[in-house]
Amino acid sequence: MSKNAKISNVVIKRLPRYKRYLEELQKQGVDKVSSNELSRMIGYTASQIRQDLNNFGGFGQQGYGYNVNALHEEINQILGLNREYRMAIAGAGNLGQAIANYTLYYKNGFIVDTIFEVNPKLIGLKINDIEVLDFDQMVDTVHDHNIDLGIICTTKESAQEVADRFCRGGVHGIWNFAPVDLKVPDHVALENVHLSDSLHSLVYYVSRQEAAADDEK
Amino acid sequence: MSKNAKISNVVIKRLPRYKRYLEELQKQGVDKVSSNELSRMIGYTASQIRQDLNNFGGFGQQGYGYNVNALHEEINQILGLNREYRMAIAGAGNLGQAIANYTLYYKNGFIVDTIFEVNPKLIGLKINDIEVLDFDQMVDTVHDHNIDLGIICTTKESAQEVADRFCRGGVHGIWNFAPVDLKVPDHVALENVHLSDSLHSLVYYVSRQEAAADDEK
């Protein structure tokens, strides 16, 4: 682990993107790829790519390039994708169902075990074969089912309470979609998808572009 | 506009977060707030906050703090949130429906006008009162309905074609949920929500934490 331990967060954040492009190449049946070719696909400079990939071993050979399968496998391993993760979703609304579907569709190693809900109309049902349980059963179920990841698709008002229960149940990571900044213990990883922040950034650039277009008239 | 034109992207990316906390304060009926109080809430340092907010005018008064409503209003204006945006969604699957619901629920100024689909079973229906139209009608409808923002909730295989049609129809911005990097003209703003990249980052930190915990045993 010591080799990987020093990879910076900035590089780690770029790995999923490399992974996506390598999967494209695998689909096309491409065996090897140069940093220049990767650069044209991904948009990073070739020297940036060489520097990033040098971080975790010497795959590239001068004049040969990278072995696509080996590089993909190594990135999977670094990202921790060479195993299964059991997940539970809190909130069976549209977003919770979308995420359940998304991960199902997505497969490789992500298993949605349970969905927790407060709405009595949904409790006891199955959504895409996933059991919907009462929010009150959360801590015990998360513990008993060995859930690794908790996914929060509730309102922002409930999100911290849900996070607390996930943590008490023993999850190792939380994927939060509620528009709120959560507090979790240090040993629990937290990744936020703040959709409203993303929409607001988009709108800023749109209003800028429109103002610039108006100025030109 | 010249005053705002020089605000850096990094600061702009932080504004939605300020906005969220200011809205919390408004709900609690708080009129004014100091940079130290904001720092405790948001987690940025007080000096960072003062620097950020100084970028767009002098709201803070020494010993008084920031006027919550005025600051919120100014941030809305900078972000371009003081007007309406007409949006169209491509893809009426779970994610498309979740986003339609999300923005409905969300209100302030975002109107989902149309959803485009290829699935004949869905075309002609209404989802949350929003008309589902045939994908083939996209370019004309986007143009005729004056759609500002196109939201892509399709598969990655269809996403570029969908983006092209949105652009031909005249959108000013694209909010992309498909796991692919799109090419759009320079005058169209692009914001990506790459869910799989986010999940992969989370899993990386989880596998790290678990490895560290194992090492301690």
Contacts of A175 in chain B (CB under 8 A): 198-199, 202
**Chain A residue whose CA is closest to B180:** A20
Q: Residue A29: pLDDT above 90?
A: yes
Burial of A87 (0-12, 13-18, 19+ CB in 10 A): buried
Kindly determine whether residue B83 and residue A181, on different chains, have CB atoms separated by under 8 Å.
no
Cα separations (Å) of A122 from A162, A212, B100? 18, 49, 21
Q: What mean pLDDT comes out for the span A58-71?
A: 76
More confident call, A155 vs A94: A155
Using DSSP, state whether B151 is helix, strand or coil. strand
Name the pLDDT band for A205 (thresholds 50, 70, 90): confident
Kindly determine whether residue A83 and residue B12, on different chains, have CB atoms separated by under 8 Å.
no
- B3 contact A CB<8A: no
* CA dist., res. A190 & res. A185, Å (int): 10
* CA dist., res. B196 & res. B201, Å (int): 9
Locus of tokens 């109309």: A121
Task: Give residue A5's pLDDT.
Answer: 52
The pLDDT tens digits for B144-201 are 999 999 999 998 899 999 999 999 999 999 999 998 899 999 999 999 998 888 888 8
Q: Which of A83, A173, A206 sits opposite B205 (nearest CB)?
A: A173
Residues 6+ apart with CB under 8 A from A40: none
Task: Give residue A60's pLDDT.
Answer: 58
The pLDDT tens digits for A119-178 are 999 999 988 889 999 999 999 999 999 999 999 999 889 999 999 999 999 999 999 999
CA A125 to chain centre: 27
The amino acid occupying position B11 is: V
User: H/E element holding A151?
Assistant: strand A149-152
Per DSSP, A137 falls in state G
Could you say which residues from 161 to 200 on chain A have a Cβ atom under 8 Å away from some Cβ of chain B?
172-175, 179-181, 187-191, 193-200
* Long-range CB contact pairs, A176-184, < 8 A, 24+: A176/A151, A176/A152, A177/A95, A177/A99, A177/A151, A177/A152, A177/A153, A178/A152, A178/A153, A178/A154, A179/B20, A180/A156, A180/B20, A181/B17, A181/B42, A181/B43, A182/A152
Report the residue of B115, B200, B214 to disrupt the A interface, i.e. the one with the largest count of A CBs within 10 Å: B200
- B83 contact A CB<8A: yes
- A102 contact B CB<8A: yes
**Chain B residue whose CA is closest to A204:** B79
More confident call, A214 vs A90: A90
Task: Give residue A1's pLDDT.
Answer: 38
Q: How far is A174 from chain B (nearest CA, A)?
A: 8
Backbone angles phi, psi at A135, to 5 degrees: -50, -35
Q: How far is A81 from chain B (nearest CA, A)?
A: 7
Report the residue of A111, A201, A209 to disrupt the B interface, i.e. the one with the largest count of B CBs within 10 Å: A201
- B47 contact A CB<8A: no
- B20 contact A CB<8A: yes
Kindly determine whether residue B175 and residue A210, on different chains, have CB atoms separated by under 8 Å.
no
Kindly determine whether residue B179 and residue A20, on different chains, have CB atoms separated by under 8 Å.
yes
- A211 contact B CB<8A: yes
Contacts of B102 in chain A (CB under 8 A): 94-95, 195
Burial of B27 (0-12, 13-18, 19+ CB in 10 A): exposed
- B94 contact A CB<8A: yes
Task: Give residue B146's pLDDT.
Answer: 96
Please state, for a pLDDT cut of 70, what percent of chain B lies above it. Answer: 90
Task: Give residue B60's pLDDT.
Answer: 58
Give yes or no for a contact between B88 and B147, defined as CB atoms under 8 angstroms apart.
Answer: yes
- B125 contact A CB<8A: no
Task: Give residue B170's pLDDT.
Answer: 96
Kindly determine whether residue B80 and residue A173, on different chains, have CB atoms separated by under 8 Å.
no
Report the residue of A151, A191, A192, A214 to disrupt the B interface, i.e. the one with the largest count of B CBs within 10 Å: A191
Q: Residue A3: pLDDT above 50?
A: no
What are the tokens at A23? 């999967």
Name the pLDDT band for A4 (thresholds 50, 70, 90): very low
Contacts of B196 in chain A (CB under 8 A): 16, 20, 106
Task: Give residue A63's pLDDT.
Answer: 64
**Chain B residue whose CA is closest to A205:** B189
- B209 contact A CB<8A: yes
**Chain B residue whose CA is closest to A97:** B94
**Chain B residue whose CA is closest to A82:** B207
Residues lower than pLDDT 50 in chain B: 1-4
